[in-house]
Structure 1
Amino acid sequence: MSDKKHKKHTHKCDDHCECESTHNEHPHISIGKIVTKVPVVLAELTLQVNVDTTITFPEAVLEIKDIKKRLKITQCRLLLPTNKLFVKGFVRKNIQYASPCKDISESTSTSVASDLHSLTVDIPFQCVTEIKKFLSKPVMPEMNNRQEFDFFVSKPLPSGFPEKDELLTSDLSQFHQASKQFYNELPFCELISSKIIEWDEAIDRQPLPTSSPLDEGFFTTIEEKMVVDFTLKVLQNQQVRISSTTNDHDWDSDCN
């Protein structure tokens, strides 16, 4: 009989091991009226930006195969204490296209030799909009202030003045100031969704040599029109009062 049948299998734990929970821990919950600091949604709005630009390729293009787009927001600033929202960003475009081979002689009356290339460009845009209605009012910034103060001094007058008189003034050799600074919470944004409708067309298309197939040509520049719709959330960290009435008995009931 083979000894292999009686060999005991042992499991070696290197990086990952199974473990099981023995019991559920009950977190400590503060009861009553509590003040917490959380992001508060000030507004949620959909903006539309219209873009008209031209894109020049580094080589001749037979046709565009595919375009992948991605929205990139680089600035989203609510200019407190106003309700103006400034937005800047780019539309990242990766354009996949067919380019004729450098050896044009490979083209025939029924075929065109080409290579598949790609070009990535950033199309910039910017806009300013007005938030007409806030879901929650923003906490307006507190203004810094500075105040100067002086101390009274009396000094004897030089010759030419009566001996009983004195110079009553403030000391020019000293400077005194009380200043106060506030470190306000700056609103910020989150990008929720985007939708891009585009129209690209060549503006310098030329036909290939007469030996190529009918209606084949190449271009290096396209004119692009885009309508970009995107949804943003504008938030600000604020102190909020909440009320908690959960007790240990309710927590046990929820867990069971």
Structure 2
Amino acid sequence: MSNQSDSENIPCPVTSTEQIPFTSEATPVVATPVTAPTIKVPVVVAEPTLQIVVESDITLAPAATEIKRVKKNVFLNQVKLVPVSFARIANTDFFRVTRAKLFVAGHIRKNIEYASAACNAALQDRIADIPFTGFTDLTFPQTPGGSTPILGISEFAEANFLNEKTQMDARLDKAFFQNLVKYNEQPFGELVAANFFELDFSPMMVAPEAAFRTLREKIVLELTVKVVQVQQVSLGAGSTVVTPVLSGLTPPVSTVMDPNSSDC
């Protein structure tokens, strides 16, 4: 019995491999001076904040006596830009978009924790998806001197010929076609921020400790998205980095530090 007990306490063998150290050194590089390089990068053409208003009823099973906590997130299924107005770029076949419709669709995922009528029962959890869809108008550029979406227009041309024998009718068996197709970078959207303002209540007022099965919610969602298009950008002096200003319940306050103050 003692030998069997000792064998059960022996740890299992593990195979290990000793690592061989490698030497490393800095790789020399050669810098080529470029005055104004041209790069191809995602360019933010718009960053709107959309106000989305949603009302819905959520059924709770089992019935609730008290809502403890509600956690929300946004999931976007669609951010699509449809241009409706253009301005030609010089004498080219490329156009800057000056006005467009932005279609946005998605859903709000709500995680509701609540207490049921049972005594000393565990908290209940209800997950609900509230869909929303709509559009907004965008004008470009959004700021003076800002970026705009750029689109190249495809063209189709046809040339017909006269009957060379009679010079009186058309040649239906002969034609010249020209077809120019420009392939554009598709503008796309990115989720930036979601600010929720919400009121949840039972449609029928109940007495304290009484149960209710329907939770009515009224949500005002301020949704901030980026509209981005990959473009060629020429770098040079004066480039800046911009940061969006998102309003909330407690916006940041700008203060000027006193140089004579001892505060760090």
Q: What band does the TM-score fall into relative to the shorter chain?
A: 0.5 to 0.7
Letter in 2 for 1:198: E
Task: Give yes or no for contact 1:204–1:220 (8 Å, CA) kept in 2.
Answer: no
User: Counterpart of 1:186?
Assistant: 186
Q: Distance in 1 between matches of 2:115 and 2:108?
A: 22
Alignment of 1:130 with 2:137, yes or no, is yes
The CA deviation at 1:91 is 0.9
Counterpart AA for 1:172: L
Q: Which has the higher contact order (CA 8 A, sep 6+)?
A: 1
Aligned to 2:245: none
Tell me the equivalent position of 2:162: 152
Contact 2:105/2:133 (<8 A) preserved: yes
Give the match for residue 251 of structure 1: none
SS of equivalent to 1:134: coil
Structure 2: distance between partners of 1:34 and 1:71? 39
* 1:70-100 superposed Cα distances (whole Å, 9 cap, x missing partner): 0112222232242332222211111122334
Q: Aligned-pair distance for 1:230?
A: 2.5
Once the two structures are superposed, residues 188-219 of structure 1 have per-residue CA deviations (whole angstroms, 9 ceiling, x without a partner) of 22222221121110124667xxxxxxx32212
Contact in 1 for aligned 2:117/2:210 (Cα 8 Å): no
Matched, 1:228 2:221: yes
Find 2:73's aligned residue among 70, 75, 80: 70
Which amino acid counterpart does residue 125 of structure 1 have in structure 2?
A: F
Percent pairwise identity: 32
Q: Which residue of 1 aligns with 2:46?
A: 43
For the residues of structure 1 that align with 2:142 and 2:217, how far apart are their CA atoms?
35
Amino acid across the alignment from 1:87 = V
Match of 1:219, as an amino acid? F
Check 1:227–1:139 CA distance in 2 against 1; reply closer, same or farther (3 A cut).
closer
Deviates more, 1:170-179 or 1:139-148: 170-179
Larger radius of gyration: 1
TM-score (norm 1): 0.67
Judge conservation of contact 2:54–2:218 (CA < 8 Å) in 1: yes
Q: Is residue 2:135 matched to residue 1:118?
A: no
Instruction: Say which is worse superposed, 190-199 or 77-86, in terms of deviation.
Output: 77-86
Structure 1: gaps of 5 or more residues? 1-10, 102-111, 156-165, 208-214, 245-256
- Unaligned 5+ segments in structure 2 are 1-15, 84-96, 238-264
**Contact persistence 1:205–1:220 (CA under 8 A):** no
Q: Distance in 2 between matches of 1:96 and 1:89?
A: 23
Number of residue equivalences = 205
Report if aligned partners of 2:50, 2:222 keep a CA contact under 8 Å in 1: yes
What SS does structure 1 have at the residue aligned with 2:235? strand
SS at structure 2 position matched to 1:138: coil
Q: What is the aligned partner in structure 1 of residue 252 from structure 2?
A: none
**Which deviates more, 35-44 or 25-34?**
25-34
Q: Please give the alpha-carbon distance, in whole angstroms, between the structure 2 residues aligned to 1:113 and 1:18.
A: 61
- 8 Å contact from structure 1 (residues 205, 218) kept in 2: no
- Shift of the 13–179 alpha-carbon distance from structure 1 to 2, 3 Å rule, reads same
RMSD of equivalent CA atoms: 3.0
Mark the CA change 1:198 to 1:184 in structure 2 (over 3 Å): closer, same or farther: same
- Deviation track 1:123-182 (CA, whole Å, cap 9, x = no partner) reads 122333233452423143222221222233367xxxxxxxxxx58423334554221211
Partner of 1:90: 107
Q: Which amino acid aligns with 2:63?
A: A
